[in-house]
Amino acid sequence: MTYDSENIFAKILREEIPCDKVYEDDFALAFNDINPQAPVHVLVIPKGEYVSMADFTATASAELIAGFFRAVGQVARDLNLEQPGYRILANAGDDAHQEVPHLHIHIFGGKKLGPMLVR
């Protein structure tokens, strides 16, 4: 799938539209989801043009891949989610109902999330 540089997260990365930022470094940006599905619902996106996890892991540099996943872990720690726990999720493609075609990891927490799917 070709990257659409006009997708909403590309615009957030370019600071053309605002976000409620919770973390940023050279590799990743994390911000609160506009329509939270749990008391904590943060999105972490890599800095670069990647549609999905498959795209990202096939084409991004090792430095960016490492930095992105470190950022996900850092956000979970910063939000004090290690205890009592949290869930990460990344949708890819139509069957998973991926709405925004820029790789993003959802971090859910702040309540008992139930078995597996959020809803």
Contact set with ligand 5GP (CB under 6 A)? 8, 19, 31, 33-35, 43, 91, 97-100
| 104 in active site | yes
41, 97, 102, 104: which is the annotated catalytic residue?
104
Kindly state the smallest distance separating residue 19's Cβ from ligand 5GP, in Å. 5
C-alpha 24/C-alpha 31 separation (Å) is 9
Contact 79, 22 (CB under 8 A): yes
Least Å distance between CB 62 and ligand 5GP? 25
Q: Which residues contact 96 (CB under 8 A, 6 or more apart)?
A: none
Tell me which residues are annotated as active site: 104
